[in-house]
Chain A
């Protein structure tokens, strides 16, 4: 299977999700864009976003709850308006500020179940610590750490909580305090004595990372037969090999198999037939699968289907499916209707370990080039258990004798399998297995910590599909290419001894001397810094790690960016992360910068900086920054290790100079936006309403006040600019400014309420009335088809009522923010529904009059141009006169305060206004409304993120890091991964090679660059290319054209030096130390075929 690429989160340098243009313009790029799926079965990012919020739909029975917002407690006697408006049942139990990104993945119900779960993690070496970390961050009720052994030097290669001072202490006791710091809401305890099976009854899930098979079988039998069953997970990492076994009991119910929001479709027609054929509008592809159950609603005509009964479908196609129902005698379909998938719980029957060992069933595959590996590893791990049982120790690294013993045990076991025996037990692989068996490596612990952490969450919540039942993995390709001697593995009595026992001391030295650049220190960045510190990367005298991030720590980061604590909120991410990483390994040579990486910081990250690097690790959260770093790595020929996560999904991509394609070589299509006209007047889902709401928010509260200030700070310049522009846009701007300063200027809070009330009338009544006046319900298009046909929904105006909490909530939130823009203090009574209702009822609301010029269409006189077409210039002049008049009545220095949307502050009323706007609009169009949290996910474009997938991604990348730093690996040794822990699904594959371009007897890839010396003129450059059979028609520098054969005036540039042209035309400033300039040349060969040639570096000094 080919890899699927997905990019994704990682919180960093661009702060992406805050800076999105939500408006209708095409620059609306969502930063968490998924990279191209090279495989069918795509999941659109919008649907992913939806999926992640499914918690919003889970209603808790009998909730009289509020949203947990601290702002609405002012009137303790009465329920606040926020509570009443969003009755979404969150009884103060979830810290939404802390968990918002994770809530976007799990939903509230899953989080509640997690909060009730007690988990045991037994075996506190590196893997145990990683699992415990992920569970504590996720927020279970309690985590009990169990270990009877004590910390030794080898543990320091993989366990981030231990320091050299802990050596000799009990592992569980030494871990408890540092793990507790990650989340005070979780009870973390240590257990250092022998465990009895009866003690397991205290837990909903137990995890063993270091347990003999005999003991495991005994415990598992107890858990499997316990009432209710206790979820049992056994996992271990041995060198570059690892496994997981899950048993969640004889009958385990999966509530939600994939975490995806139920898919929906808008119906276009249904046949009267058995079975019936249902077709849907071709607006969006259907995502149903054969065998899905669906329900129908809003169907006109064939109303029998609106009964809410789930029905099975088959033959699913992009825009149609067959419904297993005899509709022959149903009413004929007329119009309308929505079809919604019904998600079914799934019951799984797990086998106990005792049985599963003999009959493992299907293994979960991770790498199709190793399809025969899992049965062998199954055998190898059983053999290793026997070896340990027999010898009382693990095999020694580099000991052929031990390896041979293990191989012979494995051979005997295999022989005993009879018919099921393996043809080849691959002694070489088993030798690697034996050599590394004692070592717990940090990247393996990080990877398996993510996988197992997710399985525990599944066991506790029923969310996502559990692993059935064995998973085996190895990364032997990470071993150095050259053969190693036994002496290479010898412990050096350092904290890296475990790692040295697998890779040898030479690679360890290379790790320590590496100069690494980690771009971003958000979720991915924190995990990377921990991994690198433990691996000893950049910890040598020549090593240097640079981390940069321009962001500061926020509360919502803490649920996964585990190097940060709540007392760090407001501090620079990179600085805090660097000092935390240095406390994990004090030898780490790390420098923290607060610069965003981009063209504007090339003075900081200059040529020397890049040239000195060994490699670059991206830990970014947006595609643009990734593309930029990719271009830099391409230019300076540096390896780039790229990764990203989105909810439970993650991907990694290795970019190795000359070996692989670069990151930007393949791209996802940009995210689909709703068409402007749909958002404008014809929304048919809540996303459309929220898009509209955000753009109105911006217009009313940010752009207009900013426009007012622009005018007031320099009236003459502003008005003359408007006069010069003289277009409709200028006129619109002026009208908005004048409204704010004249007609709608607010001086008291009552004015703000009036404004809000009139806005309500305008948005949710008048505009709708106007629209249905222009297009009545029975309007027909030129072809006679009904205008209001699917997916368009016919709107109905709202009648304001002070008894409706949502109406009142809109008034409250909107008037409070309006008051803020005018600097008017908000009185306490603004929050009191009764008093607010009194105030709003004082507002005089004029009756609606439809715009006349739209009506008189058949009237002969109507052909005269409407008012809209009167000269803009004349209107603008008149507006400016009015405006200047208004200004005279203002105090000097009068300014408004523009409000910038901030999604993560629950007390600022921003999301209240947006959710209210969107929900009232949804009500106009009979679209289901959403609660504030879900509105925040969609409108705030919150990228769902959890600790588990992040940890796994970084573990996978660090397994590749061994290959990059050792050098000499072929492309076949590298792996890119796409994985989703929800299913679970892993797809690892070789990176793609760079595209080779051939021309005459030359060939090149994107990694090549051409160099031309001696400061050529344009003419000389063209000749140099012509000599290669290349006819250049266009030469550019940056985004500026230096030469285009179509422009006669460019001919005059022929005898200028290219560098001078770049300075004059492109205004390029070349730093004094740089002797060259890069230009992009578009050219054709003699047959007029476009030839994509490398970047050309022109040396001029």
Chain B
């Protein structure tokens, strides 16, 4: 495989070519946000989340760190921190995987088939096991309350634009998000 820094570039490239909205912080490749839509046929459909992706130094040998920025009600996602307990992006990660796999396969699967046997959000897991309908209802309420398209961009973008103002003096500093939207 090519050098790790090139893997970052290639993976990021592939992610953008697959029409994902990627928001970078000052053109750095270590850390960025990706917009993620709840899969069809799941109670998460219609929800939009901002996912924080961090590529460690040892990427792709080491798994990317993935976190939900706006809230989600899910047995395997910590409600407080947004961290995800999913084997393929933790223990069973392989350098053969890339970011497209994460957003195309791993996260949609996680939302379609939560695993309440290994819960991180115990309450959600217990509810899902005992009363699926109520559980799905609550998932949808969370989506409406926290995962509207503007939730995925608006609030945290405010924060990052602060950073951009202070650090990026590049003249045409229009948001990378805009660039992302314009992707082919």
Interface residues, chain A, CB within 8 Å of chain B? 24-27, 29, 624, 667, 669-670, 672-673, 675-678, 680-682, 724-729, 732, 771, 774-775, 779-782, 785, 787, 792, 853-854, 857-858, 862-863, 865-866, 868-869, 1033-1034, 1036, 1039-1042, 1044, 1046-1049, 1052, 1064-1066, 1080, 1082, 1090, 1092
Contact = CB atoms under 8 A, between A and B. Distances in A.
Contacts of A781: 116-117, 129
Nearest to A1092: B2
Nearest to B66: A26
A854 B131 CA distance: 12
A1080 B176 contact: no
Nearest to B82: A728
Contacts of A1036: 5, 9, 29
Contacts of B119: 677, 681
A745 to B, nearest CB: 24
10 contacts: A675-B85, A728-B79, A781-B129, A854-B123, A854-B127, A862-B134, A863-B134, A1041-B27, A1065-B170, A1082-B6
A1090 B6 CA distance: 10
Interface string B1-35: 01101101110110011000000101111100000
A869 B56 contact: no
B120 interface: yes
A24 B123 CA distance: 20
Minimum-distance CB pairs A-B, first 6:
A1034-B9, A1092-B2, A26-B65, A1041-B27, A1082-B9, A677-B85
B159 A1034 contact: no
A857 B170 contact: no
A1036 B141 CA distance: 43
B83 to A, nearest CB: 6
A1044 B13 contact: yes
A401 B170 CA distance: 79
A624 B62 contact: no
Contacts of B57: 624
A601 B38 CA distance: 46
B76 to A, nearest CB: 7
Nearest to A667: B61
A782 B128 contact: yes
Given A676-B120, A854-B126, A1092-B6, A1040 B131 contact: no
A681 B123 CA distance: 12
Contacts of A24: 83
Contacts of A732: 80
Given A782-B132, A792-B117, 17 more contacts: A676-B78, A726-B155, A727-B69, A728-B82, A774-B123, A779-B126, A781-B117, A782-B128, A785-B117, A787-B129, A854-B126, A858-B131, A1033-B13, A1042-B27, A1064-B170, A1065-B26, A1080-B5
B130 A858 contact: yes
Nearest to B116: A781
A29 B58 contact: yes
A726 B3 CA distance: 38
Contacts of B29: 1036, 1039-1041
Interface in B93-144: 116-120, 122-123, 125-132, 134, 137-138, 141-142
Contacts of A27: 56, 65
A1041 B28 contact: yes
Contacts of B13: 1033-1034, 1044, 1046, 1082
Contacts of A672: 91
Contacts of B116: 781-782, 787
Nearest to A786: B117
Contacts of A869: 71, 142, 145
Contacts of B78: 676
Nearest to A624: B57
Contact of A676 (B5, B90, B117, B141): B90
A1046 B17 contact: yes
A785 B178 CA distance: 48
A677 B28 CA distance: 31
Nearest to A1041: B27
A677 B90 CA distance: 11
B41 interface: no
A1080 B27 contact: no
A624 B58 CA distance: 9
Contacts of A1064: 169-170
Given A728-B79, A787-B117, A1090 B126 contact: no
A729 B118 contact: no
A1032 to B, nearest CB: 10
A862 B141 CA distance: 12
Contacts of B27: 1040-1042, 1065-1066
A670 B58 contact: yes
Contacts of A1033: 9, 13
B181 to A, nearest CB: 10
A672 B57 CA distance: 17
A785 B65 CA distance: 31
A868 B137 CA distance: 16
A860 to B, nearest CB: 9
A593 B182 CA distance: 52
A1052 B172 contact: yes
B130 to A, nearest CB: 5
A805 B42 CA distance: 52
A65 B68 CA distance: 51
Contacts of A29: 56, 58, 62
A670 B79 contact: no
Contacts of B87: 675
B150 interface: no
Contacts of A1090: 2, 10
Interface string B165-180: 0000110101010110
Contact of B174 (A780, A1034, A1049): A1049
Contacts of B179: 1046-1049
Contacts of A725: 159
Contacts of A853: 123
Nearest to B119: A677
Report which residue of B76, B132, B162, B170 has the largest number of chain A beta carbons within 10 angstroms of its beta carbon: B170
Contacts of B54: 26
Contacts of B30: 1039
Contacts of A787: 116-117, 129
A1040 B162 CA distance: 19
Contacts of A785: 117
Contacts of B117: 781, 785, 787, 792
A682 B75 CA distance: 14
A866 B170 CA distance: 45
Contacts of B141: 863, 865
A678 B118 contact: yes
Given A675-B90, A1039-B29, A1041-B27, A729 B10 contact: no
A1034 B142 CA distance: 39
A670 B2 contact: no
A858 B62 contact: no
Contact of A863 (B63, B80, B91, B138): B138
A213 B5 CA distance: 60
A423 B172 CA distance: 80
A220 B123 CA distance: 72
A180 B128 CA distance: 69
Contacts of B24: 1041
A1045 to B, nearest CB: 8
A40 B125 CA distance: 39
Contacts of B172: 1049, 1052
A858 B133 CA distance: 9
Contact of B56 (A26, A677, A726): A26
Contact of B176 (A677, A1047, A1065): A1047
Given A26-B65, A775-B126, A682 B118 contact: yes
A724 B120 CA distance: 27
Given A724-B159, A1046-B13, A1080-B3, A25 B65 contact: yes
Contacts of A678: 118
Nearest to B155: A726
B118 A1040 contact: no
